[in-house]
Structure 1
């Protein structure tokens, strides 16, 4: 049998289709890679069925046989065993007439926040296992993250002379997740030494044909394409693909016309799909020239922003924002009364939480729009990762931009189990760090999917800061990671002691990113104890709790004690921070107003101290 690259120079090679789809149809629904050990005959049968259908190339059942994915099943110590078994099964089925490529799938499609160093370690472990078994090439497939793919491609090219197939997965037709054109991506992969470049998964053959229309035939490598059978349907808890094999076979000739030299299948494809491709293409010669479709450029615009961007303002002058939680019911009178009163006191923004403590409230984007239009008051809208998947988050951000709301706070969100609906699902498609990065991607005019938004959003992106951890330096390191992700400013959890506030200042004074330091008046000793012992992320110093306890139970006395402590914190905050964040307890906006008036009386010239000239 000729070497794989030599065969590609002469003819089109038919690859196999999905492994998981077939095993799933057999009733095997678990970690498919582990089946190399527990159900080797089923895996072997899949390989043989594809070969019998006409596949010239089969891939090892190792797409997710890496440390990260296998650890989800408690199999992280079986990486070598699983990959070795997979390669041997594929080679047994292939004999001396079919090529075997060792498959290594993208990790960031499963776990998005994994570091490059972890990716390198996991990739090398899997790569060496496959190389030791004498595969004919390496297939890098389903890489949504281009950085990850280029990282592992460089390693593969250093470690082996075998052919390497490098395939990206697209979020939109012709576009990667990061907004890069598929043409540019494939050219970069070719420059890095990939012997075959291509696309796989996510899309059916129709959209893959459309994507390849803008891609010239590579000069120094070959082109591969592994479409899904179609777009998936979902019914009674199961995904299924409805595309007929004959259609898949017919359109495979259009992939050939676009220059594809390896044509296989991904999700939903079966031996019947590959049989149809083989029937259409076995006698067809490769295409070496094509007319490339020119992509129309879209000029991105940045609409003028009328709203104050907080991260810019706080660097120039003392800036005060106040939190007033949207109501849990439909009687919004008291809330809007408070918003009006706070506006009259001259606050710089009203910050609106996103269902805090996982309890449903009137949506903050609706409330934010109303206070912006009714009172000409700047809303700062919180966005949690808890309640929306990627689709919902992207839609929500486009909606906020359209409404003219540009100041947002990206946070993880309290888990659903602590709220009013403990049985509700917490989504967490993203971490807060990833959400910040993707909002910044929107600011570049690119959606989460990589597609052009046709306008650049202009969000000022805030991030949460919890200074109440036992080890403050660890919390500051997380701040630095958020700055690297693109955070424009920080809003802190409330601090309840002046000494603690000084500690926060000392730990963060090296940062150039503004911090709005949180201050929240305590209402009673019971309130202080609840916050300290039961609310995640909040700690109330022992001395503060003692003062609240000494105030007794009379509401007048406890309110006075809480306000006295809050005013001491305001004194410290005015000396240390340009941004002050007042948190209104239980819509008691009269307490925030009292603090605002105290602040004006106390501050004097301190309110004009520019950012970067904070003093103790």
Structure 2
């Protein structure tokens, strides 16, 4: 019986990641080649997912095509690798209530010119022929960023087989494919081209994937599917890592069912524990037959990012001070940003910080906006500079331009990997790390370029560095601070803290550091916002009490706003007790929240009168 028959009456459970799961087991090589050299390892992965409750097992063939195997010198082994992969899956699934589907991954990334469509079609057809010669129950086309590539491959597959075909896109941002194609239009088009199951995988965790499905109606014929990542990826020690929270993943599965999803699995970072949580969560949940589609105005998704900014060291030494992050917008309208900068200036902020394409997503150039608010509104800008987007030539040129414009408050950050942003195939440069960038800035303060040439003048940069006070290894983060001080950092900005108790701990381990520290506080906007930050954003954990407080006002926008402000004020009270500097992060450009909190900090610092708190 086809798994499509099963999906008419119930939600099926897919499996999770194969590559990242093998990587967690210590394997760092061509995972598809393991089908030949170590099939036992592959079978163990399939078996683990079966035991967890998977009803659909995908073959270990995501990159088993000629183009990708060429990287490993295996381009002549396409057929044998794919057939061995099917054998591995079938040997495990035998006599069990599950289906085996042949997996084929997308090839194109951001740079379309890297491979012509003719090359892609040849590579795709060769792999598909190998899979169709084996005993499989369907085909899975997954992780396609380019809709032209997916459409072309789907049409070819439909001509070759009557087996069920699952077609998955990967999104640039919520609800939209690369090139601006709305998700609902793309899935409808895939249905018209012959796909039996359509949906998404990779790139996004449950939070953003659910948001995307809210605008997708149930289709006439095809079923919907979702294979989210475990979380947004973090970049540690030269590798991508994912947070693991199976319970959150399982709870999200219930919401996927409510959005009409009939097939739920997992992508990067997911494990058998995640899949078991999904299976347990939806076992008795009936699929929906009707769905209310949400029609909403698109908003830029702004979540907290690791590249935190800092303000002037001299300010902290003189008095209590506050700086506020206001991210440049993703769209060309700057009215809200400019108005927010003016209001924050009126509230008494010492600087407004501007991120540099945070979360690897393009925004209006922070240099341009910094120049505008400095020149026209006398707002002091603090500009972030990431190592990700510019090579060494570009970085030095950029710094020279900042100096020429009279902008000298800078934050040096490595930058989030492009994999999590709007253009996952874009090149991450990383000629320098944040330590090296700090040293370059201070070297230019001596009038010397990176190569040692005379610049003809000295810059006067005040250089900030990021500090992550969250996680289980606070002492290790402090050692990184000490190293950044050795490279020349003048001050630090931290990621947001959501625990009053944590503030005192941070003070104890950093009190020997003489450089100013601005401790981060970010007001929460809703329970969903809190859960997303806690479960999907690397480096952020909320207390149970905070999550429960936001949960109690879930669905009430006004009450959520009030509760978020109150929680932030309680944190500010503790920050004020131990630190001279506060760093406020504005959520979703909602500057009215950080304006209110700025006034609260100024009142505590005796810099404004109580009656002005409500103005």
Normalised by the length of structure 1, the TM-score is: 0.50
Which residue does 2:14 correspond to in 1?
A: 15
Alignment of 1:38-57 (within 5 A): 38-57=37-56
Cα-Cα RMSD: 3.1
State whether structure 2 residue 401 is matched by structure 1 residue 366: yes
Which residue does 2:108 correspond to in 1?
A: 108
The SS at the match of 2:204 is coil
Which residue does 2:473 correspond to in 1?
A: none
Q: Deviations over 1:501-540 (max 9, x none)?
A: xxxxxxxxxxxxxxxxxxxxxxxxxxxxxxxxxxxxxxxx
Q: Within 2, Cα distance between the matches of 1:356 and 1:225?
A: 37
The SS at the match of 1:104 is strand
In the superposition, relative to structure 1, how do residues 367 and 199 fare at CA in structure 2: closer, same or farther (>3 Å)? same
- Stretches of structure 1 that go unaligned for 5 or more consecutive residues are 304-353, 371-387, 395-418, 422-616
Q: Within 2, Cα distance between the matches of 1:250 and 1:389?
A: 28
Q: Within 2, Cα distance between the matches of 1:302 and 1:244?
A: 37
Contact 1:105 1:143 in 2 (8 A): yes
Which residue does 1:191 correspond to in 2?
A: 192
Q: Within 2, Cα distance between the matches of 1:133 and 1:145?
A: 28
Q: Within 1, Cα distance between the matches of 2:229 and 2:54?
A: 16
Alignment of 1:257-276 (within 5 A): 257-276=258-277
In the superposition, relative to structure 1, how do residues 128 and 111 fare at CA in structure 2: closer, same or farther (>3 Å)? farther
Q: Within 2, Cα distance between the matches of 1:391 and 1:168?
A: 15
In the superposition, relative to structure 1, how do residues 245 and 392 fare at CA in structure 2: closer, same or farther (>3 Å)? closer
Which residue does 1:59 correspond to in 2?
A: 58
Q: Deviations over 1:8-63 (max 9, x none)?
A: 11211100000012211111011111111111000000001100110000000000
Indicate the larger mover: 88-97 or 136-145: 88-97
Which residue does 1:173 correspond to in 2?
A: 174
Contact 2:172 2:422 in 1 (8 A): no
The SS at the match of 2:203 is coil
Alignment of 1:59-78 (within 5 A): 59-78=58-77
Alignment of 1:62-211 (within 5 A): 62-96=61-95, 97-109=97-109, 112-113=112-113, 114-211=115-212
The SS at the match of 1:362 is helix
| TM-superposed deviation, 1:116 | 0.8
Contact 1:116 1:148 in 2 (8 A): yes
Contact 1:358 1:420 in 2 (8 A): no
In the superposition, relative to structure 1, how do residues 104 and 366 fare at CA in structure 2: closer, same or farther (>3 Å)? same
Q: Within 1, Cα distance between the matches of 2:120 and 2:404?
A: 43
Which residue does 1:5 correspond to in 2?
A: 4
Q: Deviations over 1:406-440 (max 9, x none)?
A: xxxxxxxxxxxxx959xxxxxxxxxxxxxxxxxxx
Q: Deviations over 1:285-307 (max 9, x none)?
A: 11111100003269x8899xxxx
Contact 1:359 1:420 in 2 (8 A): no
The SS at the match of 2:141 is strand
Q: Within 1, Cα distance between the matches of 2:229 and 2:418?
A: 23
Q: Deviations over 1:56-115 (max 9, x none)?
A: 000000000111111011111111111010011111111142101100000013864211
In the superposition, relative to structure 1, how do residues 360 and 235 fare at CA in structure 2: closer, same or farther (>3 Å)? closer
Q: Deviations over 1:279-334 (max 9, x none)?
A: 11122211111100003269x8899xxxxxxxxxxxxxxxxxxxxxxxxxxxxxxx
Which residue does 2:607 correspond to in 1?
A: none
| TM-superposed deviation, 1:149 | 0.4
Which residue does 2:465 correspond to in 1?
A: none
Which residue does 2:239 correspond to in 1?
A: 238
Contact 1:138 1:165 in 2 (8 A): yes
In the superposition, relative to structure 1, how do residues 232 and 362 fare at CA in structure 2: closer, same or farther (>3 Å)? closer
Alignment of 1:350-499 (within 5 A): 362-363=397-398, 366=401
Contact 1:360 1:420 in 2 (8 A): no
Indicate the larger mover: 279-288 or 37-46: 279-288
Q: Deviations over 1:339-362 (max 9, x none)?
A: xxxxxxxxxxxxxxx999959753
Contact 1:197 1:221 in 2 (8 A): yes
- Stretches of structure 2 that go unaligned for 5 or more consecutive residues are 300-330, 335-388, 406-416, 424-449, 453-615
The SS at the match of 1:197 is strand
| TM-superposed deviation, 1:233 | 2.1
Contact 2:48 2:272 in 1 (8 A): yes
Q: Within 1, Cα distance between the matches of 2:251 and 2:390?
A: 51
Contact 1:87 1:133 in 2 (8 A): yes
Contact 1:14 1:54 in 2 (8 A): yes
Q: Within 2, Cα distance between the matches of 1:392 and 1:76?
A: 30
In the superposition, relative to structure 1, how do residues 150 and 365 fare at CA in structure 2: closer, same or farther (>3 Å)? farther
Q: Within 2, Cα distance between the matches of 1:365 and 1:182?
A: 42
Q: Within 1, Cα distance between the matches of 2:298 and 2:228?
A: 26
The SS at the match of 2:269 is coil
In the superposition, relative to structure 1, how do residues 31 and 357 fare at CA in structure 2: closer, same or farther (>3 Å)? closer
| TM-superposed deviation, 1:138 | 0.4
Q: Within 1, Cα distance between the matches of 2:234 and 2:403?
A: 37
| TM-superposed deviation, 1:364 | 9.3
Contact 1:355 1:361 in 2 (8 A): no
Normalised by the length of structure 2, the TM-score is: 0.50
Number of aligned positions between the proteins: 330
